[in-house]
């Protein structure tokens, strides 16, 4: 535990939904839900306006529609989210060499390692200046937690949401944690929380009072010891700049169960190629190929094959995944398929000429239109959607795939816009840009030659030059601070 609150945790506020609201003037202040829109789609992020209505991440989209029928439902635009994330992470990197990203919108920063803070006052100034910089560069808000440990910094950022800053003074940890529910602590999920509740422990104070021996008896040696330390506010985990990935994988959930064995194999091969694309993007190779199959009855099977050496060869991975599929019974139907590679290394043991040929094949496949391959971490809880039916897709299904709701388009006469929806041979587009006025809505044929998909526009047209950050950035105004260290907000 540090004597000063020099560990910072940043969590962008409702990141995907906030980015969509910033990009689309007509959605500002309105309920926005981002995620899979098919029958089996899952909410990735909901705006705060949608959360008031009961919508939250990991909720089935169908349930969200019942709770918020008038919300805007959009397909994720990962190209935009990655771009904004890179801007935020660059700002964090200017504060310290020790930045530990947890996802696109969340990271720990060791301020002491970068000389950005050494006490409470300097930590607070740095946190406020960071929030100002993020808004100036991206147009979005982020919540900041500051504490002497990673656990408490993350708890502080949760308390700061939305768009705030909370600093936990060292020495006040136990007093602050005591009344909080046990689910506040990392690693205490619904099952563990229910088990502790049945034992009469509902608050962190209850855990501290129970003692280490009792917690070990209840939840096991490793978990019990860790739980007791956290209840006392103890956490000595360092901020780690490089978090080495243990695996690379992709998966798709299908709107309708797949029964055709040929179709299932084709999907597995497609996923294998996408997996290798990610593997090569990370400049890694892997030795073990893993196949994941979730069947019609929600039973999930995994099969793996270990190769003679690490590879990033799409043919090798594809053929290994196909062999694994032969050992799985799919006659009842398949609702999800996934292909992954583990045992990662930074070298390969394949024939270089074969790799060159496969690289050309990979490049050709990459030029083919594909659904967005990004998959959320379990804490984000989003599932993508794959092809909807085994029969040839209808015109409506093709339109939905070509014109996803929320995605960018460009019209030769009307300029940049975004898809509000498609159906009955038509696509509806609202023409507006980030930072501009609410735009007009127009409808076109789905095959209109003047309408084409487009790349996202920057959320801020003329961002502040932060090349000299953090020295030149002006300090933000600080409001009154509560006993817990939270800046008061209207």
Q: How confident is the model over 52-100, as pLDDT tens digits?
A: 999 999 899 999 999 999 999 999 999 999 999 999 999 999 999 999 9
Q: Mean per-residue pLDDT for 397-415?
A: 85
Does 148 have pLDDT greater than 70?
yes
Q: What is residue 89's three-state secondary structure?
A: helix
- pLDDT for the residue numbered 414: 96
Task: Choose, from 20, 49, 100, 106, the residue flagged as catalytic.
Answer: 106
**Adjacent-strand bridge partners of 410:** 416, 452
Which range has the top average pLDDT, 17-31, 278-292, 380-394? 17-31
The rounded distance, in Å, linking the Cα atoms of 66 and 75 is 18
- pLDDT, averaged across the chain: 85
Q: Are 162 and 175 within 8 A, CB to CB? A: no
- Return the DSSP state at 44: E
Structure-token pair, residue 253:
């959930």
Give me the phi and psi of 174, to 5 degrees please: -65, -40
- pLDDT for the residue numbered 399: 60
Q: Are 346 and 49 within 8 A, CB to CB? A: no
Instruction: For residue 344, name the pLDDT band (cuts at 50, 70, 90).
Output: confident
Instruction: For residue 461, name the pLDDT band (cuts at 50, 70, 90).
Output: confident
Q: Mean per-residue pLDDT for 29-45?
A: 91
Does 393 have pLDDT greater than 90?
no
Name the H helices within 161-260: 173-177, 190-198, 204-210, 212-219, 221-231
Q: Mean per-residue pLDDT for 31-39?
A: 91
Percent of the chain, pLDDT > 70?
84
Q: Mean per-residue pLDDT for 6-14?
A: 97
Instruction: For residue 2, name the pLDDT band (cuts at 50, 70, 90).
Output: confident
**Adjacent-strand bridge partners of 165:** 144
Does 377 have pLDDT greater than 60?
no
- Which residue in this structure is represented by tokens 């360092």? 238
Task: Please tell me the least confidently modeled range out of 35-44, 187-196, 384-393.
Answer: 384-393
Does 382 have pLDDT greater than 80?
no
Instruction: For residue 416, name the pLDDT band (cuts at 50, 70, 90).
Output: very high
Does 467 have pLDDT greater than 50?
yes
**Adjacent-strand bridge partners of 250:** 339
Residue 341: CB atoms within 10 A of its CB come to: 28
Q: Mean per-residue pLDDT for 189-213?
A: 92
Residue 330 to residues 272, 335, 341, Cα–Cα distance (Å): 18, 10, 22
Q: Are 15 and 376 within 8 A, CB to CB? A: no
- pLDDT for the residue numbered 203: 95
- pLDDT for the residue numbered 400: 62
CA angle 358–361–365, rounded 5-degree value:
140
Max CA separation in the chain (angstroms): 72
Which range has the top average pLDDT, 324-328, 391-395, 423-427? 324-328
Among this protein's residues, is 106 annotated catalytic?
yes
- pLDDT for the residue numbered 1: 74
Does 383 have pLDDT greater than 70?
no
- pLDDT for the residue numbered 254: 86
Residue 331: CB atoms within 10 A of its CB come to: 9
């Amino acid at each position: 535990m540090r004597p000063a609150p020099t560990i910072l945790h940043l969590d962008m506020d409702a990141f995907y939904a906030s980015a969509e609201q910033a990009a689309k003037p007509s959605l500002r202040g309105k309920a926005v839900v981002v995620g899979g829109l098919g029958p089996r789609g899952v909410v990735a992020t909901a705006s705060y306006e949608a959360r008031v209505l009961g919508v939250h991440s990991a909720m089935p989209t169908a349930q969200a529609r019942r709770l918020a029928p008038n919300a805007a439902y959009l397909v994720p635009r990962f190209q935009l989210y990655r771009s904004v994330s890179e801007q935020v992470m660059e700002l964090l990197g200017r504060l310290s060499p020790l930045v530990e990203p947890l996802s696109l919108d969340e990271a720990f920063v060791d301020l002491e390692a970068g000389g950005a803070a050494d006490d409470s006052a300097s930590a607070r100034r740095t946190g406020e200046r960071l929030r100002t910089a993020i808004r100036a560069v991206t147009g979005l808000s982020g919540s900041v937690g500051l504490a002497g440990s990673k656990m408490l910094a993350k708890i502080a950022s949760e308390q700061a949401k939305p768009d705030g800053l909370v600093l936990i003074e060292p020495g006040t940890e136990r007093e602050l944690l005591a009344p909080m529910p046990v689910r506040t602590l990392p690693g205490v999920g619904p099952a563990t929380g229910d088990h502790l509740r049945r034992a009469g422990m509902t608050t962190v104070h209850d855990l501290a009072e129970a003692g280490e021996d009792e917690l070990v008896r209840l939840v096991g040696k490793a978990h019990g010891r860790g739980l007791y330390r956290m209840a006392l506010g103890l956490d000595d985990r360092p901020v780690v700049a490089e978090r080495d990935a243990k695996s690379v994988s992709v998966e798709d959930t299908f709107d309708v169960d797949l029964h055709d064995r040929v179709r299932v194999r084709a999907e597995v091969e497609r996923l294998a190629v996408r997996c290798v694309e990610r593997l090569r993007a990370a400049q890694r190779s892997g030795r073990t190929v893993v196949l994941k199959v979730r069947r019609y009855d929600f039973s999930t099977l995994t099969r793996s094959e270990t190769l003679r050496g690490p590879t990033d060869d799409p043919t090798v991975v594809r053929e290994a995944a196909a062999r694994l599929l032969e050992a799985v019974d799919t006659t009842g139907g398949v609702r999800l398929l996934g292909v992954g590679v583990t045992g990662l290394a930074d070298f390969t043991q394949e024939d270089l000429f074969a790799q060159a040929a496969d690289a050309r094949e990979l490049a050709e496949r990459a030029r083919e239109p594909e659904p967005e391959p990004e998959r959320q971490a379990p804490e984000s809880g989003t599932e993508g959607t794959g092809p909807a039916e085994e029969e040839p897709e209808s015109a409506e299904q093709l339109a939905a795939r070509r014109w996803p709701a929320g995605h960018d388009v460009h019209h030769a006469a009307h300029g940049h816009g975004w898809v509000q929806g498609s159906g009955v041979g038509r696509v509806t587009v609202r023409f507006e840009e980030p930072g501009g006025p609410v735009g007009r809505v127009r409808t076109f044929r789905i095959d209109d030659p003047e309408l084409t998909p487009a790349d996202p526009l920057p959320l801020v047209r003329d961002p502040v030059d932060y090349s000299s950050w953090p020295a030149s950035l002006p300090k933000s105004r600080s409001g009154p601070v509560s006993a817990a260290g939270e800046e008061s907000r209207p």
